[in-house]
Structure 1
């Protein structure tokens, strides 16, 4: 039995020895071209003129492409078709790609990209929450969850609090930056090596940009040096750029962002502002609560709509809200388009209700752990029929049991008392301690994405090779999936080899995201192995 065993990461020895191969390590022919974007220097406006003569004349430059030179769709968005690869004349944020430099070296491309002379007609940018609210710039009308009559419940409550909490963005800072390599193949086909959590999306965007069918594009990724959601859609621009340049020149083309460009061009975690009102009784039990969530999405939709949706879905966290109103505003601003980030909006929603719990505890002078506990969803054994703000019955809560065990095993009460004594004796340095629950929804809210595929080969010598649609970014997915295959066939892990994720082997995959990679791809591998094992049993 291999499932459940603690095994080392399949590539751990390669990681520590420097033998693990990432996209930027793939050997390329001498004629490989290197790409870099020329970036906007203003946040909002229109391009009046763009002189790129000096760029073209720079040492090592082979060509410079603008939006007019693209053979197919000028779009790298994951869904809304609102994110051009190269500016169509409008500028929406500082760092927006305006043109693409093709050069004989990475450094030559970067240096040349800074030589353009661009004149703009600037417009006042919308940057902050307040700017966007005042201008009413949203991607869609506000969305609302309503349960009961929260305003009435709050008005009748013995105690009330209200406030606001703001959460800033966050850079993914994966160790391996964004990078892609495109290799033109015979018959107009294209092979793309990309550091991506979503090879199928890269395949689709490249095919659309080249104006070819999906079957003409193959995307391969063996591993990423970290992703955290930042490589779910943000790699599209690099892959499309490389493929377009490779098609036009007939040469391999590679593009990687240096860290400064990466941090300027790519999206971050969504900034949130949450306004709240809450009414509660003498014990701290919530009677009614309202949340108004504002998500600063940036200039294009990217994945902001489902991110904001998930923030709403997690606004209750592990607490029963008898009367609740949750309103979400998805604000459009002249900033980089924010994107997927670990938790995908869930952490922002959780922070809102946790702020309310702390505010209630402070107002009543109670231990926040006690306030949290009194508001938890009841245990599944109680069968109370409690529902979430989106009217889903909670049938499997074990938060009381988990919380009681953790409070005891962590010696919370004694440690909190020690913190109190320390703080009384120290006027400057302070300590704190807290226990905070998390109810997190695993899997995609767009339910048809909760699927996976696998390809398994059993060779004549008994060795096994398998491929699946998930991507490895350091989380150990390949090891876990190999354990499933070894367990199903009843062999050791040494008999199983996993190959690079490849759209030519397993097509139409979902992104490796939503904490679902092991479950979905593991079960796909198990289903494939079961079929082969049953055939072997019938045969022998």
Structure 2
């Protein structure tokens, strides 16, 4: 049995006391053990599906590219941890009822149009009855979707009580509920010549998406597109979104692009270390040419279409 209980207090202090003294009982009967790590998700085949339109295309044949290499790095591994948002203002909202079932909602949101739409649905009123005003005290992606539950709860309470209601999430709760950047486990195999030219790269990327997919499906394409800033010769990959029993991860400043750039530079530095060459010389050897750009690497392919 599941029952939702809402508490509305006269002050923030009273609300905090009520929250700390609340007792929540969970029925764990017939519930499987939680999936908390990427490895556990793989063992239990717990993945989200990625639509084909959101999945990037492979470039050339990896087996052919790796056969041309003088040197190989096989199944090297790196891990990218999560990062938490630390915007100055936490998730917050203020809802003020108006006449004729109208309402003004001040929300610290990066996506006010979605909040506007969902608040109207939850209150059962036309969208033109809801006015959403955005005041964002820092966001970086953390207030794109995660601000919506706060503004909706605030609006519902104000609608029921017919009086203004304000929600200000404390820092601890904010960091728990917002989720942060996606942790990843990356396994890569790369082939390269003594001349510093990389001939093939294969990536196996496991992304911890948390309990729901939210914005996670955009990551594979963003990661691979960022990697394509270099000419890897043949580029193949297998990207999986792991479903775990953790708070869902969300978009954080340059989602996917940042991780892709980090992965690319880590591989370049690994290659330069094994060849005992300056890392910039390896970078310069693997920048794109007009020929490589024609292999579905960049905008030139789109231009031709």
TM-score, shorter chain, exceeding 0.5? yes
Q: Does structure 2 conserve the Cα–Cα contact (< 8 Å) formed by 1:49 and 1:119?
A: no
Question: Is residue 131 of structure 1 aligned with residue 40 of structure 2?
Answer: yes
Tell me, what secondary structure is at the counterpart of 1:114? helix
Q: Does structure 2 conserve the Cα–Cα contact (< 8 Å) formed by 1:159 and 1:279?
A: yes
Unaligned runs of 5+ in 1: 1-47, 51-65, 67-98, 397-540
Q: Does structure 1 conserve the Cα–Cα contact (< 8 Å) formed by 2:56 and 2:220?
A: no
Q: Does structure 2 conserve the Cα–Cα contact (< 8 Å) formed by 1:145 and 1:390?
A: no
Q: Does structure 2 conserve the Cα–Cα contact (< 8 Å) formed by 1:49 and 1:118?
A: no
Q: CA deviation at 1:148?
A: 1.0
Q: Does structure 1 conserve the Cα–Cα contact (< 8 Å) formed by 2:123 and 2:156?
A: yes
Between the aligned partners of 2:143 and 2:194, the Cα distance in structure 1 is 47
Q: Does structure 1 conserve the Cα–Cα contact (< 8 Å) formed by 2:231 and 2:292?
A: no
Between the aligned partners of 2:255 and 2:217, the Cα distance in structure 1 is 11
Between the aligned partners of 1:376 and 1:204, the Cα distance in structure 2 is 45
Match of 2:103 in 1: 190
Match of 1:62 in 2: none
Among residues 274, 277, 286, which one is paired with 1:363 in the alignment?
Answer: 274
Matching of residues 164-179 of structure 1 within 5 Å = 164-179=77-92
Q: Does structure 1 conserve the Cα–Cα contact (< 8 Å) formed by 2:220 and 2:256?
A: yes
Between the aligned partners of 2:286 and 2:220, the Cα distance in structure 1 is 24
Aligned length: 296
Between the aligned partners of 1:389 and 1:272, the Cα distance in structure 2 is 26
Between the aligned partners of 1:297 and 1:49, the Cα distance in structure 2 is 25
Q: 1:291 to 1:169 in 2, by over 3 A?
A: same
Q: CA deviation at 1:301?
A: 1.6
Q: CA deviation at 1:247?
A: 0.9
**How large is the Cα RMSD of the aligned pairs?**
2.0
Q: 1:206 to 1:177 in 2, by over 3 A?
A: same
Give the TM-score of the pair, scaled to structure 1: 0.52
Match of 1:200 in 2: 113
Match of 1:393 in 2: 300
Match of 1:351 in 2: 262
Between the aligned partners of 1:301 and 1:373, the Cα distance in structure 2 is 37
Which runs of structure 1 show a deviation greater than 4 angstroms over 4 or more consecutive aligned residues? Answer: 141-144, 388-392
Between the aligned partners of 2:219 and 2:171, the Cα distance in structure 1 is 25
The C-alpha deviation readout for 1:411-460, integer Å capped at 9, x for no partner, is xxxxxxxxxxxxxxxxxxxxxxxxxxxxxxxxxxxxxxxxxxxxxxxxxx
Matching of residues 18-417 of structure 1 within 5 Å = 66=4, 99-122=5-28, 123-141=32-50, 143=55, 145-162=57-74, 163-221=76-134, 223-316=135-228, 318-378=229-289, 383-384=290-291, 386-387=293-294, 392-393=299-300
Between the aligned partners of 1:341 and 1:133, the Cα distance in structure 2 is 24
Unaligned runs of 5+ in 2: none
Between the aligned partners of 2:142 and 2:165, the Cα distance in structure 1 is 22
Between the aligned partners of 1:195 and 1:49, the Cα distance in structure 2 is 30
Q: Does structure 2 conserve the Cα–Cα contact (< 8 Å) formed by 1:148 and 1:323?
A: yes
Q: CA deviation at 1:393?
A: 2.4
Q: 1:225 to 1:391 in 2, by over 3 A?
A: closer
Q: 1:237 to 1:161 in 2, by over 3 A?
A: same
Tell me, what secondary structure is at the counterpart of 1:120? coil
Higher relative contact order by CA 8 Å / sep ≥ 6: 1 or 2?
Answer: 2
Between the aligned partners of 1:387 and 1:272, the Cα distance in structure 2 is 30
**Structure of greater Rg:** 1
